Amino acid sequence: MDNITQKLMQKSESTKKDSLGKMISLAALILIVIVVVSIFAFVMSRGLSTFITGGVHVKDFLFGSTWNPSVVNPQTKQPYIGALPMIIGSFLVTFLAAIIATPFAIGTSLFMTEIAQKRGAKIMQPVIELLVGIPSVVYGFIGLTVVVPSIRHIFGGSGFGILSGTIVLFVMILPTITSMTVDTLKSVPRHYRESALAIGATRWQMIYKVVLRAATPGILTAIVFGMARAFGEALAVQMVIGNAALMPHNLISPASTLTSVLTMGIGNTVMGSLQNDVLWTLAMILLLMSLVFNLIVRAIGRKGEMK
Amino acid sequence: MSKSHRGAIVSTIVAVGIVAVFGTAYAARDKGATGTSITAVGSTALQPLVEAAGEEYAKANLGTFINVQGGGTGTGLSQVSQGAVDLGNSDVFAEEKEGINAKKLVDHQVAVVGIAPLLNKENGIKNLSTNQLKAIFTGKVTNWHQLGGKNQDIIIINRAAGSGTRATFEKWGLQGAQSIQAQEQDSSGMVRSIVATTPGAISYTAFGYIDKTVVAASVNNIQPTNKNVSDGKYPIWSYEHVYTNGEPSKPVAKFLNYLMSKDIQSTLVPKLGYISIHDMRITRQVDGKVVEK
């Protein structure tokens, strides 16, 4: 066998590198999958043990309105583990923050992409990126020293509550929604705009009949991402919401969210006890909700495209 | 076997290998290091004392490290009973915490902490009886004028359920009654600043957190002072416990002795707002029985 044949039969240097690269990335992928699967398994096994070994009914947990896991209800012989106040609190702050943030986010991003592109790129873009990077404890601290006293002055009471939580979350998710909306608006093809203007549309008609319509799925995705962030935010909300596991009667009375109850309680309970398990069940709900948010994003991406 | 399959298998082996390396590193942690290391976990109320004493101790005994972490009373008790840490700091007797097998644990009472009701300055109240405290925290009284104060709604601020401070306050200040659901905060500093700025607010903290911005109310006309606690007059206080799993090992016992030494108990303990265990003229058992020393 001559030299050339031998060379051709062997793996070349590049092929070896190619398969090595493939292997490294596959290994990274598998590691991530292992981590994700074990987190899921751990949270699930802990969370479900409330129902399996704790003997708690799922219905009582999801729809009960009294939360006091260390006290046993004398009638049913079960602890008070109604998580409804927290579930409602979480959804309330999330939706309210998203509802307030969305018009601001769309307005800002329209200004940046359609009206003042140069200034938008130069000033607004860095500002928004800076806001994304501010740690949540800073937002919480500002909420505690500025928002809560203002609410107390205006509405009375203690100032802690859903409203304060909404305001803090609104500021927190605004940059998230804005930057994603900007990306979507930028990706609307230029010839859409040109065609609209060519047939005599004003700039505003072009924006709301063509650009916004074409960008709707992207904007919805941005809003859902913002909501996912709001739903999972723990620290900033815990600092301003008051952490009372009560059904929210109005926006300025103390309430709580799934995350705030978790961070408050996890250090004060004993691993393996029911009080600890119910906290894991709350964590499980949070995990499932973030899964739901992800599914919504995918569904929007698949079905929402303009036809 | 196809090539892509082989690649997948090799990758899996690599991934498992990485996990195994981390695992081995975890299993072999600290073992190579010289010197001893004592880990304490638990109550955030006791943390400053053990931390400060640990630093002094490490200075005096080179090669010994005292690693102190917070996490809460529940964490401290469960970690020490699992044998995961050397010392478990707790604000309550292990017997009082659900889910803990107290028989295995050995109690070392290292200090005493008094807890005072905190009021906003504008409430117009300076003294509360335990019955009044109970009425406030169970929601029977909702306005300060019902107790002779200003016409101002009462705003209750609790510590997190299961926190040692709250457990002590409910047991001795509310005669064992549970507080109604109200807003909760997870640190004493936060509680104090909220009480100071919110008209109508009432809460409770350890004596160490009392300052001019708030009113520390007398209970049954007895001032919340260290002396009244050590004389047994003031009712709301608790031991700060350090638990070990079984009898402590030699280095741990040495550190515990250091914590109990006159030196620490007369300098660091009062400086950080605790009451020295040696000053107590009474002892109180788990069941609340008080005995003169």
Q: Is B27 exposed, middle or buried (0-12, 13-18, 19+ CB in 10 A)?
A: exposed
B8·A26 Cβ contact <8 A: yes
Using an 8 Å CB-CB cutoff, list chain A residues near B143: none
Domain boundaries, given as residue ranges, for chain A: 84-306
Q: Is A252 exposed, middle or buried (0-12, 13-18, 19+ CB in 10 A)?
A: buried
Q: What is the dihedral of CA B129, B132, B138, B144, to 10 degrees?
A: -130
Give mean pLDDT, residues B250-255.
91
Using an 8 Å CB-CB cutoff, list chain B residues near A38: none
Token couple for A89? 């609190």
pLDDT at A306: 55
Smallest Cβ–Cβ distance between B162 and the set A34, A263, A265 belongs to A265
pLDDT at B15: 65
Give the number of other CB atoms < 10 A from CB of residue B66.
22
Smallest Cβ–Cβ distance between A264 and the set B78, B82, B184 belongs to B184
Residue A145 · residue A214 · CB < 8 Å: no
Nearest Cα to Cα of residue B175 among B127, B94, B236: B236
pLDDT at A252: 87
In the block, which residue shows the tokens 């609790």?
B158
What's the per-residue H, E or C state across A163-210?
HHHHHHHHHHHHHHHHHHHHHHHHCCCHHHHHHHHHCCCCHHHHHHHH
User: Chunked in runs of 10, what are the mean pLDDT values of chain A (307 residues)?
Assistant: 78 88 96 96 91 85 86 80 92 95 94 85 86 90 92 87 94 93 92 93 92 91 93 90 88 90 83 85 92 89 67
Q: Which residue of A has its CA nearest to B94?
A: A270
B186·A68 Cβ contact <8 A: no
Residue B183 · residue B157 · CB < 8 Å: yes
Q: Which residue of A has its CA nearest to B154?
A: A157
| Rg (alpha carbons) of chain A, rounded to whole number | 25
pLDDT of B48-80, one tens digit each?
899 999 999 998 888 888 999 888 888 888 889
- φ, ψ dihedrals at B204, nearest 5°: -155, 140
B183·A67 Cβ contact <8 A: no
CA–CA distance, B226 with B278 (Å, rounded to integer): 12
A244·B11 Cβ contact <8 A: no
pLDDT at B82: 87
CA–CA distance, A69 with B170 (Å, rounded to integer): 16
pLDDT at B215: 92
Predicted TM-score (pTM) of this structure: 0.80
Query: How many Å lie between the alpha carbon of A251 and the closest alpha carbon of chain B?
Result: 14
Token couple for A19? 């398969």
B285, amino acid identity: Q
Using DSSP, state whether B185 is helix, strand or coil: strand
Query: How many Å lie between the alpha carbon of B266 and the closest alpha carbon of chain A?
Result: 30
CA–CA distance, B80 with B75 (Å, rounded to integer): 8
pLDDT of B16-47, one tens digit each?
677 666 666 666 555 444 578 899 998 888 88
Query: How many Å lie between the alpha carbon of B182 and the closest alpha carbon of chain A?
Result: 5
Give the number of other CB atoms < 10 A from CB of residue B253.
13
Instruction: State yes or no: pLDDT of B7 exceeds 70.
Output: no
Using an 8 Å CB-CB cutoff, list chain A residues near B182: 244, 254
pLDDT at B33: 46
Query: How many Å lie between the alpha carbon of A222 and the closest alpha carbon of chain B?
Result: 33
Nearest Cα to Cα of residue A43 among A295, A290, A230, A231: A290
Using DSSP, state whether B289 is helix, strand or coil: coil
Token couple for A285? 């709900």
Parallel/antiparallel/unpaired status of strands B201-206 and B155-159: parallel
Parallel/antiparallel/unpaired status of strands B105-119 and B237-245: antiparallel
pLDDT at B97: 83
The CATH architecture annotation of domain A84-306 reads: Orthogonal Bundle (1.10)
CA–CA distance, B159 with B183 (Å, rounded to integer): 8
Give the number of other CB atoms < 10 A from CB of residue A225.
19
Query: How many Å lie between the alpha carbon of B129 and the closest alpha carbon of chain A?
Result: 25
Using an 8 Å CB-CB cutoff, list chain B residues near A267: 44, 70-75
Token couple for B40? 């304490």
CA–CA distance, B161 with B174 (Å, rounded to integer): 15
B201·A238 Cβ contact <8 A: no
Q: Which residue of A has its CA nearest to B72?
A: A267
Token couple for B258? 């250091």
Nearest Cα to Cα of residue B12 among A10, A184, A203, A30: A30
Instruction: State yes or no: pLDDT of B144 exceeds 60.
Output: yes
Q: Is A67 exposed, middle or buried (0-12, 13-18, 19+ CB in 10 A)?
A: buried
Smallest Cβ–Cβ distance between B18 and the set A31, A256, A264 belongs to A31
Using an 8 Å CB-CB cutoff, list chain A residues near B7: 19, 22-23, 26
In the block, which residue shows the tokens 């104090």?
B192
In angstroms, the Cα distances linking A39 to A27, A32, A34, A266, B44 are: 18, 11, 9, 17, 28
Those of residues 53-82 in B touching chain A at CB distance below 8 A are: 70-75, 77-78, 82
Instruction: State yes or no: pLDDT of B1 exceeds 60.
Output: no
Smallest Cβ–Cβ distance between A23 and the set B7, B74, B178 belongs to B7
B184·A243 Cβ contact <8 A: yes
Token couple for B132? 């009044």
A34·B7 Cβ contact <8 A: no
pLDDT of B154-191, one tens digit each?
999 999 887 888 989 999 999 889 898 888 888 888 89
Beta strands in chain B (DSSP E): 36-42, 64-71, 87-90, 105-119, 127-128, 155-159, 183-185, 201-206, 215-216, 218-219, 237-245, 275-276, 282-284, 290-292
Query: How many Å lie between the alpha carbon of A254 and the closest alpha carbon of chain B?
Result: 6
Using an 8 Å CB-CB cutoff, list chain B residues near A276: 74, 99
- Give B149-154's long-range contacts (Cβ < 8 A, gap of 24+): B149/B123, B149/B124, B149/B125, B150/B122, B150/B123, B150/B124, B152/B122, B152/B123, B152/B124, B152/B199, B152/B200, B153/B200, B154/B200, B154/B202
Return mean pLDDT, chain B: 86
